Amino acid sequence: MQPLITLTDIGRRYVIGSEVIHALKSVSLTINKGEFVALMGPSGSGKSTLMNILGCLDTPSKGEYVLNGINVSHMSDDDLAEVRNSEIGFVFQTFNLLPRNSSLENVALPLVYAGISKTDRLARAHKALENVGLGHRVDHKPNELSGGQRQRVAVARALINNPSIILADEPTGNLDTKTSIEIMGLIEDIHAKGNTIILVTHEEDIAQHAHRIVRMRDGLIEKDYINPDIHTVLKERELL
């Protein structure tokens, strides 16, 4: 089976004045379809840079990135935007919702860029909101929703194009503990339906939801392992 993601010797450097900063030195990583991976590391470890490359928000200075059979390593910005819209669903810590638009309009937005008719866009967005338990909040704007509800809208928007990957960047960072558990439960449900999840987090308890953990330090992968506690964690959740 062809991996969904293959990174080979990925490096990313930034030139700031006379200084060269190597945010990523040499990262090689394979992620298969249907995996649930947590990407962890302290500030300055390179995890945010790696997330930007995985999400086609940035390109590497060296190495190759093959996503779903497509080499995206050195694509133009326009081509990367097309790949992002078709292959990747984003869930951000800050929700990134348009404040003047309803939940329905926010969720439907990626379909505008995909050239889907308005009728189909709204029908699909309504279904996506129902799938995350917000079918009764379709006309509400972000300021009329709780933090957890706003994140559910963001999750629905991430799923609207049936992407290859859901990339969740600190998805519980702005939520209280109870709401964080609910959102992680929702992400687990999405994974159980066959979606590939890459979760970027600095919180150990959030990372424990993943089946595989990749730890970074100083621009390199320090450790890449199967979560040894996942079977215990899953069993505990079944009993809740």
Mean pLDDT, rounded, for 183-211: 92
Range of the domain at 129: 34-57+77-239
d(CA 179, CA 185): 10
Residue 233: pLDDT over 70: no
The per-residue pLDDT for 239 is 45
The per-residue pLDDT for 235 is 56
Residue 159: pLDDT over 50: yes
Is 192 part of a structural domain of the chain? yes
Residue type, 4: L
Is 3 part of a structural domain of the chain? no
Is 174 part of a structural domain of the chain? yes
> Residue 93 — pLDDT band, cuts 50, 70, 90?
confident
Is 68 part of a structural domain of the chain? no
Is 186 part of a structural domain of the chain? yes
Tell me the pTM. 0.89
Is 13 part of a structural domain of the chain? no
3-state secondary structure of 145: coil
What length is written for the chain?
A: 240
Is 151 part of a structural domain of the chain? yes
Number of independent structural domains in the chain = 1
Is 71 part of a structural domain of the chain? no
The per-residue pLDDT for 240 is 46
Which CATH number characterizes residue 93's domain?
3.40.50.300
Residue 169: pLDDT over 50: yes
